[in-house]
Amino acid sequence: MINSRGSVLACVMSVGFTLYPPQPLEAQTPKEPPPVIVRSMPPDKGEIVGNTYKNIALGLEFTPDPNLKLGTPEVKGSPESGAQIVTVAALGEKKWFSANDETVFYADFTSYPESRRSTEAYMQRIVRTNESEGLQLVKSTGEEHFGGMLFSRSDFERSSMYEAVYAKTCDAFTLVFIFAGSDPQGVNKLIAQTRVKLDLKNPGCHDKSSTTPSKK
* CATH fourth-level superfamily of 3-22+50-198: Mog1/PsbP, alpha/beta/alpha sandwich (3.40.1000.10)
Residue 210 pLDDT class (50, 70, 90 cuts): very low
For the chain, what is the mean pLDDT? 78
Q: Would you state the pLDDT for residue 2? A: 42
Q: Would you state the pLDDT for residue 82? A: 64
Residue 112 pLDDT class (50, 70, 90 cuts): confident
| Domain edges within the chain | 3-22+50-198
Cα R_g (the chain), whole angstroms: 16
- Angstrom distance (rounded) from CA 182 to CA 118: 30
Full-model pTM: 0.77
Q: Is the pLDDT of residue 114 over 90?
A: no
Q: Would you state the pLDDT for residue 115? A: 73
Q: Is the pLDDT of residue 64 over 90?
A: yes
SS3 215: coil
Q: Is the pLDDT of residue 163 over 50?
A: yes
CA angle 45, 124, 201 (to 5 degrees): 45
**Section 110-115 average pLDDT:** 74
